[in-house]
């Protein structure tokens, strides 16, 4: 037999004040080492911050003390590791990409680094009748694609030299950069602008503007591109969508846990 149904608990939920304070102190303790900086960041009384830090340390969410500074603890690192392992770039980026497609009415791609190649993981088409030749899972060279160049722009000169030595700079069209020195100049321009252009370098008749996507460690592991036909956007006119590409890529980066510090990128 089943027992009497339990009476619903209609008591008011506890105040979120204490929880919010704890989360603010935890976030500040991860961002700052010194106790005084944590207090300043949270805006809470010293006694309150000290008490919350002691509790977080006891529960192993942080480690350290006010003299040595605070750092993430084993319990927090374990949770963070499991959370990161479950990240799915396609799931995270898709709503941002769909919104971008509606704004620019061009095909939008997201690609991921795979060795010395980029691989498409998202492709969303515009409302226009033509379709790009790209497809999800298709690999492409880094030196002649917009999203490949935004990744290469974040690499050291030694890493770029290794790519040149191991896979070369094979021509895809008559506009492909095949000279290492010219590639270095192009990557310097990409770093300065914050985005890259592909003006028929990877495929004849297609153009794109691309922006970097950073992971939780600030590494450029992905790229986003807005692509169209050269007939529709001749010359470098596709560059008009650079602000939208950068904004969407930054939104995805933030969703992946990046702080997007472009000054030090």
Q: Averaged over 233-252, what is the pLDDT? A: 96
SS (H, E, C) the chain: CCCCCCCCCCCCCCCCHHHHHHHHHHHHHHHCCCHHHHHHHHCCCHHHHHHHHHHHHHCCCEEEECCCEEEECHHHHHHHHHHHHCCCHHHHHHHHHHHHHHHHCCEEEEEEEECCEEEEEEEECCCCCCCCCCCCCCEEECCCCHHHHHHHCCCCHHHHHHHHHHHCCCCCCCCCCCCHHHHHHHHHHHHHHCCEEEECCCCCCEEEEEEEEECCCCCEEEEEEEEEECCCCCCCHHHHHHHHHHHHHHHHHHHCCCCCCHHHC
**Strand order across the 107-114 sheet:** 139-141, 117-124, 107-114, 220-229, 206-214, 196-199
Distance CA 235, CA 251 (A): 28
Instruction: Name 164's Cβ contacts closer than 8 Å, sequence gap at least 6.
Output: 180, 183
What was the pLDDT predicted at 43?
87
Domains annotated for the chain, with CATH where assigned, are 17-84 (1.10.10.10), 87-264 (3.30.450.40)
Closest CA to 113 of 216, 260, 213: 213
Q: Averaged over 224-228, what is the pLDDT? A: 96
Instruction: Name 9's Cβ contacts closer than 8 Å, sequence gap at least 6.
Output: none
156 has pLDDT over 90 = yes
Structure-model confidence comparison of residues 57 and 5, the more confident one: 57
The length of the chain in residues reads: 265
Q: Averaged over 176-196, what is the pLDDT? A: 96
Mean of the per-residue pLDDT values for the chain? 85
Give pLDDT tens digits for 99-131: 999 999 999 999 988 889 998 888 998 887 777
């Amino acid at each position: 037999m089943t027992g009497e149904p339990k009476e619903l608990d209609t008591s008011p939920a506890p105040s979120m004040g204490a929880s919010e304070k704890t989360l603010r102190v935890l976030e500040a303790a991860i961002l700052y080492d010194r106790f005084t900086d944590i207090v300043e960041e949270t805006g809470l009384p010293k006694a309150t911050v000290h008490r919350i830090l002691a509790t977080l340390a006891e529960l192993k969410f942080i480690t350290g003390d006010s003299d040595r500074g605070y750092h993430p603890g084993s319990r927090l690192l374990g949770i963070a590791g499991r959370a990161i392992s479950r990240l799915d770039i396609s799931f995270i980026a898709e709503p941002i990409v769909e919104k971008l497609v509606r704004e620019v009415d061009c095909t939008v791609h997201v690609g991921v680094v795979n060795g010395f190649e980029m691989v498409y993981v998202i492709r969303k088409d515009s409302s226009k009748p033509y379709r790009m030749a790209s497809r999800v899972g298709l690999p492409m060279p880094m030196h002649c694609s917009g999203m490949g160049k935004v990744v290469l722009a974040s690499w050291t000169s030694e890493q770029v030299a290794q790519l040149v030595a191991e896979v070369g700079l094979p021509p895809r069209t008559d506009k492909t950069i095949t000279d290492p020195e010219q590639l270095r100049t192009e990557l310097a321009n990409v770093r300065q602008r914050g985005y890259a252009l592909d003006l028929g370098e990877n495929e004849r008749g297609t153009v794109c503007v691309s922006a970097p996507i950073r992971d939780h460690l600030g590494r450029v592991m992905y790229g986003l591109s807005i692509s169209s036909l050269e007939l529709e956007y001749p010359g470098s006119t596709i560059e008009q969508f650079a602000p939208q590409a950068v904004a969407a890529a930054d939104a995805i980066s933030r969703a992946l846990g990046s702080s997007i510090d472009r000054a030090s990128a």
